[in-house]
Amino acid sequence: MDKIEKILENQKINIENIEVPKELEARLRRSLSRKKKSYSKALTAAVVILALIFGYSYDAIAYYGKKILGYDKVAFGNLKELNEKGRGQEVGKSFTFSDGTKVTLDGIMFDDNKFTGFIRESSNIEIDASSISYSIKGINPFGYMQESGAGNFNEARTELNWVYDFEVPHFYEKWLTLEIEKREEGNIEHGSIGFTLDRSKAMGHTVKQDINKSIEIEDADIEINSIIVSPMAAVVEGSYKSERITDVPDPKIMYYVDFDLFINGNEYQESGGNIRGANNERAFSKEFNAVPLDVNSLQIKNIKFVSEILVDKMIKVTTETSDMKIEINETDISIKKVKTDGNATYITLKSQKYDETINSRYDPQIALFISGEQIKGEDITSGVLYEENGKKYIDRTFKFSGKGENMEIGIKVVYITEGSSEVINIPVK
């Protein structure tokens, strides 16, 4: 279903000169399998994508103890403010591979939630951004894997500066090594850079609070256990279980918990997270970046249990199509109407089980293809709510910038969202 894969392309953020390593998902998966954690492929990819996308929206890095040239285009959370205050640790050590490629660990920054490395790759020839991978080694035999990263090239593409997040080293670690693996044309070469953690540079946490709150949503039991707010991030941990989650999970369905975190009355965007566990119970953590350094109030709102169904379905439509029901895991979704106006095509979807109070609904993600070419689209309505035969529905209309014969609607994913209106107020101690 190559055409449907293009749907995800529209959701990416185009950032000039930003490169993401192709092996990042595989490395994350290897780390999880070593620790006997259970991740779905879709979730692992989602974690990586979220960590990369949301990290790009904040102020650029300007200082790192002293000013470090080249990192100003790699935007990441609170790092600018923290660096200007000299809260990082300079390292300034390098390793050079046999082909002349040089890797320099300029510095690190860490607290109770995050461990970030500032890494520069340089060469006399154009650099392949996907050829080098990193991990951290210490006393812990499993090491500390790379989790996410963002970087930018110079104009000649001979220098590439990365800001990478790694798993946070345990409290007992002091002497660490940045392990470097370079893969090119089937050849593998290893390098390393040793450094010592200066714990006086660690920033600890602002708030560390148990929550231990239970929420029931349909057949899902959700526990919000704790929150740690640190200068670099906020992390909420919890667990959930449901009869729908079985020992042998359906690879096309992923279940997860979603919610909004409010700090000092302002909502903060999730930037990453993970899920682990077996049987019908899962543990999760969610990370939020660019959080304030001073915390006066904490709230968790709009708690939801989400079923993400991978569909990969193409449906032929015409302007005569109306009330066409789509069979997807017993969900009640229909293509209600297809029409053209000027040079645009409008598609109205009808989906069941919408509750305006707790935002519970079936939410299909669609794309339009005309003669095999994907057409740019947008959701132009917030939804029209109504009841029919005792059930609640929402109609959403999508506008696509084009029209023609041989139309197909591509459905990649359907989200089934079940929510709670409960608000968790977290004491700040």
Residue 89 DSSP class = E
* Size (the chain), residues: 429
Looking from the CA of 96 toward its CB, the CA atoms found within 13 Å total 5
Nearest to 384 by CA among 317, 328, 336, 316: 336
- Assigned token pair, 340: 């053209």
* pLDDT for 423: 95
- Lowest-pLDDT range of 23-27, 175-179, 257-261, 365-369: 23-27
**Contact status, residue 37 vs residue 53, Cβ threshold 8 Å:** no
Residue 77 DSSP class = T
> Which secondary structure element, helix H or strand E, spans residue 261, and what is its range?
strand 253-263
- Has residue 215 got a pLDDT over 50? yes
Sign of the C-alpha dihedral, residues 159, 160, 163, 166? negative
- Has residue 387 got a pLDDT over 80? yes
Burial 379-412 (b: 16+ CB within 10 A, else e): eeeebeeeeeeeebbbbbbbbbebbeeebbbbbb
What are the φ and ψ backbone dihedral angles of 33, each rounded to 5 degrees?
A: -70, -35
**Contact status, residue 362 vs residue 353, Cβ threshold 8 Å:** yes
Q: Name beta bridge partners: 209.
A: 227
**Contact status, residue 161 vs residue 75, Cβ threshold 8 Å:** no
User: What's the predicted TM-score (pTM) here?
Assistant: 0.71
Q: Name beta bridge partners: 229.
A: 207, 234
- Has residue 96 got a pLDDT over 70? yes
Give the pLDDT confidence of 172-198 residue by residue, as tens digits.
999 999 999 999 888 999 999 999 999
State the average pLDDT over residues 333-341.
Answer: 91
* pLDDT for 12: 36
- Inter-CA distances, 202 with 86, 108, 178, Å: 11, 10, 18
Q: Kindly state the greatest CA–CA separation across the chain.
A: 72
Give the pLDDT confidence of 227-285 residue by residue, as tens digits.
999 988 899 999 999 988 887 777 788 899 999 999 999 999 888 888 888 777 899 99
* pLDDT for 225: 97
* pLDDT for 357: 60
Domains detected in the chain? 2-201 (2.60.40.1640), 207-306+420-426 (2.60.40.1640), 309-418 (2.60.40)
**Contact status, residue 414 vs residue 356, Cβ threshold 8 Å:** no
Cα(429)–Cα(227) distance, rounded to whole angstroms? 12
Nearest to 105 by CA among 183, 163, 150, 28: 163
Give the pLDDT confidence of 396-406 residue by residue, as tens digits.
899 998 888 89
User: Residue with structure tokens 């609607």?
Assistant: 409
The strands making up 270-276's β-sheet, listed across from edge to edge, are 207-217, 220-229, 234-242, 281-288, 270-276
DSSP string, 285-349: EEEE-S--SS---EEEEEEEEEEEEEEEEEEEE-TT-EEEEEEETTEEEEEEEEEEETTEEEEEE
- Assigned token pair, 44: 């692992």
Give the pLDDT confidence of 120-160 residue by residue, as tens digits.
999 999 988 889 999 999 999 999 998 888 888 888 999 99
State the average pLDDT over residues 357-377.
Answer: 80
- Has residue 9 got a pLDDT over 60? no
**Contact status, residue 327 vs residue 333, Cβ threshold 8 Å:** no
Nearest to 291 by CA among 398, 203, 188, 389: 203
**Contact status, residue 65 vs residue 84, Cβ threshold 8 Å:** no
Give the pLDDT confidence of 33-71 residue by residue, as tens digits.
333 333 343 333 333 333 333 333 222 222 233 444 455
DSSP string, 398-425: EEES---SSEEEEEEEEEEEEE----EE
Cα(180)–Cα(169) distance, rounded to whole angstroms? 17
* pLDDT for 6: 42
DSSP string, 140-209: STT-EEEEEEEEEE-TTSSEEEEEEEEPPPPTT--EEEEEEEEEETTEEEEEEEEEE--GGG----SEEE
